[in-house]
Every structure is written in structure tokens, then in C-alpha cells.
Structure 1
């Protein structure tokens, strides 16, 4: 039989790409956010004992039994792997608490801080931290930028973390690819498979046919603009570009112009 479009296989490809975008959008609702944490909760240990008191006791004991205090062996500041305190923890005398299990690796920690329970807890915490980090890369903050994907909320992982926002952006790219393939195929079909001698100004063709033709030509202009804008957001999020980051000279309003350049004609 005769072909209904210029490229039937290309028409099938464009048709079946679009459901993939819808499936990705639906995937956002099924991301398991209950396993999402901004920090590893098991690594924030409550101090069991007050280590300031214990330090003075073991210091005097070491002096009485004749142990020479050699700072090179006992002080962790001389060690090449000096563990720094957490920035988010605001406690006085932080170094004297058992907040950080790694400090128990040093001789000073073993002498002055006798309880080594958190050394065992660190093993559980480190193994769990890898799992938490993996789930963190799947979902954070969901799509906090709204349905218009407004920048800089959507262009920075600081506001919308890796996960649902990236799925939404990628689904828009898939929908744009599907639309581009489809309207290109239909425009070529209109040009190549048209009846001989059929012209708009000579033959009275249905208004719906004229509307579809104008819509396809309009989509050919505006759809690549939206696809390019979404790809620019993905580049800002993961490849350190600054198209929409005003801190480095970008323009957050640029995406709104690009988005509505597509949105108004498309509606």
C-alpha cells in the first residue's frame, strides 16, 4: 500500500519516544524520599563521658608513672592525616569530645579518652554512609522549581538536588525530540507526498489542515529553543557552566524568555 507519511519508521520512532518522557515524569512520584538524608545520622554521636575531666586525670597519671609526653607520638596535629572537625557542629571544646571516631586512632586519644565504643560504631556508620549517599543521588528536594522550571532554582543543585529535577528536565528533552521527529516527518510528507497541483491559494482546503500545517511550522521554530534551554540547565547543574547563574555572569531571566518563547506559541 501507499505510505501515509514520508518516513514511516521515523514516525514510529517519534511516536514511541514520547511515552518514555511521560513514564519519567510519573517516576518522580514514586521516588522513595523517606530514605533521603542530608547527613548520616549515625555519625552524629552523643558524647558518653565528659572528656575534659578525663584528660586531666590521665595527664597526671602519665606524669606520676614516669611516662614521657612526646607530642610527636601523642598529638594528632603532627600526624599527616589531621582530621578536621565538622563545620555544622558548634560545640565548645569540640576536640575533647568523642564526636569523631577517627580520633581514636591516635595514641593521644587512646590514653586520654578511654572509651572506644565509637570505634566500632564507625564501622557500621561507614558502611551505611555509602548506602545513604547512593539514595541521596536519586532524590532530593523533588521539583522545588515549579512546573515552569524557573531558574536559578532548577539550574543549581543547591536548591533542587540531584534526582527528580533532573528526571523532569530529561523528560522534557525526550518530549522535544519526539515532537521534532514528528513535525519534521509531517512537514516532509506535506512537501513530497502532496497531490500534484494542490496549492493553498488555488484549492479550498479545510481550515483544520491549514491550522495543522501552521502549527507544525511554528513548532519547528520554538521546540528547539526549549530543548536548548533545558540542556543549558543540565549543563549548569552538572558541568559547571553559568548560563543562568548570576554569580558568575549568567542571566536567570534568560530561561524565562526562552521558556515562554516556546510556551506562548505552543499554547
Structure 2
């Protein structure tokens, strides 16, 4: 009957959780420009090298080295390590400085500027020379330093990854798992309830892409809750004093890797 159909309805959580999740992300990430912080790509690491060169602690390592000679000969003339804004490409004659460097890699100054060529070329298209790094108010300006595989005990202990971004990432994985679970459950039930009689007894065959999609959904139904459980265990370790992955209290840090890759390998 009609009540067996797995179409989205207004009283279905699956109808609301995905649009509301999108609106939440859009409201935080895209519609609040006061949460955007802009940094120039070269100002990340080059001033750090400049400070390292001038540091008395490490100055002994830069005596009579290629790095020292490079900074003496090039830094004062070309401002590679002391960053300043560089003029945009306006004339065709200047393009040879950026497009034909592979033929001139024997020259030290060209060698150091070559990795930046893509960004100067992209500048002609994007009209923007700044890399955007996004911090939301929830991230507390901390980094997700545990990596995309959530290495434990780094991701499960607030001593290694501070409050903020790591917690947001763990919660986001749980919400993404709930959303995808509702989605593939909806499609699997639709396939089960709306299948035609000829397909039910295999007199007609489904297209291979449909079969592959349905097999993928069944696989996700097995592995997605495992990842969600592992991430929730990590959150419990962080905030509710459990010790699933803390070796000092009888936990097993490798257990999280087994749980994560039980999801990760089939999903990839």
C-alpha cells in the first residue's frame, strides 16, 4: 500500500536533517564573513624561516651552508624570506619570468620561485591572491592536529588536541554518519517496497550501476555505524573520563584504528 512507500515526508526526520544540516553549515561557514580570516600563502612559513635564520639558538647550524649563502645573496635583493606584496603580472614580457622557469631551473632564484608559479597563474583567473583559512566560532582557533584518520590517543585526549576544532570534527563525523544512514536506508527500503514484479523474481535484470549502488548501500549499512560508534567512544574519552583508547588506564589505542579502517577500506 501507499504507507509502505519510503518517500520523504514532512513528518520524517530524513526529510529535515539533511536540509537543516546544510543550512547550519551555510550559516556558519558562508554567511558569516566575520568568521573568515585571511592569510597570504607566503606569510605562513617564509617569515618563520627568516626568524629561524636569525635565531641565536640555531645560528650555529647555518654557518657556511647553502641556506646561509642563499639568504645573503638573494634575500636582500628579492625579498623571498622577508615577505612583501608582489606586483601583479600586467605585461606579456613579464610572463616569461613565470611560465618558462622549468627551462631555467639551474638558476637558484628561479628554482625557489618556481613552486609559486601556479598561484600567479591562478591569480589571472580568480582575481584573488590570498588563501582563505576558515575558523568558526566553535573551533576556538585550534587545529585538528590528529589527522584525518583521528589517530588515538591524540584525538581522544584533550592534552594533545585542545578543545574546539577536534570536537567539532568528531561531532561532524557523527552527524554525517547519521545523515548518510538515513539516506541509504531510505533508498534500500524504496528498492524493497517499490520493486516491480519482474525484478522481484529475476525475470528482468537491473542495470549494473543500480546493482552496484544497492550493494554499496548494503555495505555502508554495515560499516557506517562502526565508525560512528568509534567516534562517540573517542568523544567519551575526551569529555566523560572513559578510557577506551587510553593505554595508561587499560585502553587500546590500536582499537580505534581497527574500527576506523573497518569503515575506511570498504568506504573508499
- TM-score interval for Structure 1 and Structure 2 normalised by the shorter chain: 0.5 to 0.7
Per the alignment, residue 16 of structure 1 pairs with 19
Provide the alpha-carbon RMSD of the alignment.
3.1
| Cα contact 1:145–1:160 (8 A) shared by 2 | yes
- How far 1:144 moved relative to its partner? 0.8
Per the alignment, residue 255 of structure 1 pairs with 256
SS in 1 for 2:204: coil
Q: What is the CA–CA distance in structure 1 between the aligned matches of 2:252 and 2:27, rounded to whole Å?
A: 28
Per the alignment, residue 160 of structure 1 pairs with 161
SS in 1 for 2:199: coil
Give CA-to-partner distance per residue, 1:125-165, whole Å, 9 cap, x none: xxxxxxxxxxx995264211011111000000000011000
| Cα contact 1:21–1:171 (8 A) shared by 2 | no
Give CA-to-partner distance per residue, 1:43-81, whole Å, 9 cap, x none: xxxxxxxxxxxxxxxxxxxxxxxxxxxxxxxxxxxxxxx
Higher mean C-alpha deviation, range 11-20 or range 234-243: 11-20
5 Å matches for 1:110-259?
A: 139=140, 141-199=142-200, 201-259=202-260
Unaligned 5+ runs, structure 2? 38-136
Q: What is the CA–CA distance in structure 2 between the aligned matches of 1:157 and 1:203, rounded to whole Å?
A: 56
| Cα contact 2:199–2:206 (8 A) shared by 1 | no
| Cα contact 1:142–1:164 (8 A) shared by 2 | yes
- How far 1:19 moved relative to its partner? 2.7
Structure of greater relative contact order (alpha carbons < 8 Å, 6+ residues apart): 1
Change in CA separation of 1:265 and 1:219 when aligned onto 2, cut-off 3 Å: same
Higher mean C-alpha deviation, range 238-247 or range 140-149: 140-149
Change in CA separation of 1:21 and 1:181 when aligned onto 2, cut-off 3 Å: farther
Give CA-to-partner distance per residue, 1:203-242, whole Å, 9 cap, x none: 2210010011001100100000000000000000000000
Number of equivalences:
162
| Cα contact 1:156–1:237 (8 A) shared by 2 | yes
Q: What is the CA–CA distance in structure 2 between the aligned matches of 1:160 and 1:230, rounded to whole Å?
A: 15
Higher mean C-alpha deviation, range 14-23 or range 215-224: 14-23
Change in CA separation of 1:172 and 1:253 when aligned onto 2, cut-off 3 Å: same
Give CA-to-partner distance per residue, 1:176-201, whole Å, 9 cap, x none: 00011111111111111111231374
| Cα contact 2:144–2:165 (8 A) shared by 1 | yes
SS in 1 for 2:198: coil
Larger radius of gyration: 1
Change in CA separation of 1:21 and 1:235 when aligned onto 2, cut-off 3 Å: farther
Q: What is the CA–CA distance in structure 1 between the aligned matches of 2:211 and 2:28, rounded to whole Å?
A: 32
| Cα contact 1:24–1:171 (8 A) shared by 2 | no
